[in-house]
Amino acid sequence: MPKSTHYKGLIDRYRDRLPVDSATPIVSLTEGDTPLIKLVNLPSLIGKSVEMYVKFDGQNPTGSFKDRGMTMAVSKAAEKGAKAIVCASTGNTSAAAAAYAARAGMTAFVLIPEGKIPMGKLAQAIAHGAVVLQIRGNFDDGMRLVKEVAEQAPVEIVNSINPFRLQGQKTAAFEIVEALGRAPDYHCIPVGNAGNISGYWIGYSEACGKNTASCTLCNGDCPYLDNPLTTSRPVMVGYQAAGAAPFLRGAPVEAPETVATAIRIGNPQSWDLAQAAVDESEGWFDEVTDEEILTTHSLLASREGIFCEPASAVSVCGAMRDLKNGKIPEGSLVTCTVTGHGLKDTAIAIERAEPVKTVDAELGSVKEAILSHIS
């Protein structure tokens, strides 16, 4: 009989490195194990020799990295006997919460900013049966309300302030280290609520047997420090959209605005953890404009075959700029998290493109149209 190699999700895969035990009912959609894709065309566009990879977490079951955290958060909620979960969301957290709640037989309540989430994400929340509450406010208002309501109603918060979320998300760093056989030199990542950068830093730190201020569960007594996978950690570089860049302003932003709706956040909940990740790794935060984001969004799709949502292009956008200006040295091994799938937000891709050409349904017209594109 062949040995079964069926991958069963990240909790099963990293059980010994996650806070679960035999009493934890695992709620999984076989998330994780996402591809690490080498960029073959973009580095030469900036004339730099660099080994650059995209961790395409848009290939998770609901199309974003949020599934990594959600499998942990919902499994731990189920262990506690919770019947309902709640989150504020720019779209992807609500899609993931809705799907995992459906599987666990729980009710998901999701608060989204009115008119500011792409249709793909809204469709997911609705299809999976979440109770969607559209609020007349932004993500930060939703986050505040979620914290308040959870004190007065029997609902479990599954935003990334739930420490189990970051535990699930740290596994992306393990996968990268295993795929490369070492940690990258630089890890570039979009920053919104700042949970993911914090989760990666926990993962990279555990992977090389080091402790970090970012790990809030084990209080400096990490059981995995004796079991390292590698010897170094990357420099962490967090990129924000210029209209929603509290880390660059040094204070929360009142009315964040950006085309990258997933990171349209002015008051990141994991501020201190993200700052610690950047400080400990001797990295930095920087910002990119909406125009730069959309240019990279379309370059990734048209030159690399990687279709992501605008917020996800932020990591590659910032990395290319910092390679060009030498902040990231040539010859480095660079990984970029690409957080969500392009099918989430098709409107933006179509809006920016040339109108689709319509021709008569006859050979002459089709042939002419094809030949006009071949020189």
Q: Which is nearer to ligand PLP, 229 or 270 (CB)?
A: 270
Interacting span for ligand PLP (CB under 6 A) from 126-134, 140-148, 191-199, 246-254? 191-199
Least Cβ distance, residue 232 to ligand PLP (angstroms): 24
Distances (CA, A) of 245 to 207, 255, 291, 311: 29, 11, 15, 13
Reading the block at residue 276, the tokens are 């610690």
Least Cβ distance, residue 130 to ligand PLP (angstroms): 16
Q: Which is nearer to ligand PLP, 45 or 347 (CB)?
A: 347
Binding string to ligand PLP for residues 12 to 51, with x set by CB under 6 A, is what?
----------------------------------------
Taking CA 131 as the corner, what is the angle to CA 130 and CA 134, rounded to the nearest 5 degrees? 115
List 50, 111, 194, 259, residue binding ligand PLP (CB under 6 A): 194
The residues, ordered by sequence, that sit 6+ positions from 97 with a Cβ below 8 Å of its Cβ are 66, 70, 74, 85, 87, 89, 108, 110, 125, 130, 158
Q: Would you say 238 and 191 are in contact if contact means Cβ atoms under 8 Å apart?
A: yes
CA-nearest of 39, 66, 5 to 263 is 66
Least Cβ distance, residue 366 to ligand PLP (angstroms): 38
By the rule CB under 6 A, 190 interacts with ligand PLP:
yes
Binding string to ligand PLP for residues 315 to 334, with x set by CB under 6 A, is what?
--------------------
* Residue 2: exposure state from Cβ atoms within 10 A (0-12, 13-18, ≥19): exposed
Q: Which is nearer to ligand PLP, 48 or 264 (CB)?
A: 264
Helix/strand/coil for 270: coil
Q: Would you say 239 and 315 are in contact if contact means Cβ atoms under 8 Å apart?
A: yes
Amino acid present at 93: T
Q: Which is nearer to ligand PLP, 160 or 335 (CB)?
A: 160
Q: Would you say 73 and 168 are in contact if contact means Cβ atoms under 8 Å apart?
A: yes
By the rule CB under 6 A, 214 interacts with ligand PLP:
no
Binding string to ligand PLP for residues 85 to 124, with x set by CB under 6 A, is what?
-------x--------------------------------
Give the count of beta carbons closer than 10 Å to the beta carbon of residue 74: 30
List 156, 185, 309, 322, residue binding ligand PLP (CB under 6 A): 309
Interacting span for ligand PLP (CB under 6 A) from 39-47, 136-144, 186-194, 201-209? 186-194
Least Cβ distance, residue 186 to ligand PLP (angstroms): 18
CA-nearest of 342, 252, 259 to 298 is 342
Number of residues that bind ligand PLP (CB under 6 A): 18
Interacting span for ligand PLP (CB under 6 A) from 13-21, 185-193, 211-219, 355-363? 185-193
Least Cβ distance, residue 374 to ligand PLP (angstroms): 37
List 138, 205, 281, 339, residue binding ligand PLP (CB under 6 A): 339
Burial 268-299 (b: 16+ CB within 10 A, else e): bbbeebbbbbbebbebbbbbbeeebbbbbbbb
CA-nearest of 118, 233, 139 to 195 is 139
By the rule CB under 6 A, 168 interacts with ligand PLP:
no
By the rule CB under 6 A, 192 interacts with ligand PLP:
yes
- As a whole number of angstroms, the distance between CA 76 and CA 267 comes to 26
- Within 243-272, the residues that bind ligand PLP by CB under 6 A are 262-263
Q: Which is nearer to ligand PLP, 312 or 332 (CB)?
A: 312
The residues, ordered by sequence, that sit 6+ positions from 135 with a Cβ below 8 Å of its Cβ are 111, 112, 113, 114, 141, 142, 145
List 113, 120, 195, 234, residue binding ligand PLP (CB under 6 A): 195
By the rule CB under 6 A, 138 interacts with ligand PLP:
no
CA-nearest of 294, 275, 272, 270 to 285 is 275
Where do contacts with ligand PLP occur on this chain (CB under 6 A)? 64, 66, 92, 160, 190-196, 262-263, 309, 311-312, 339-340
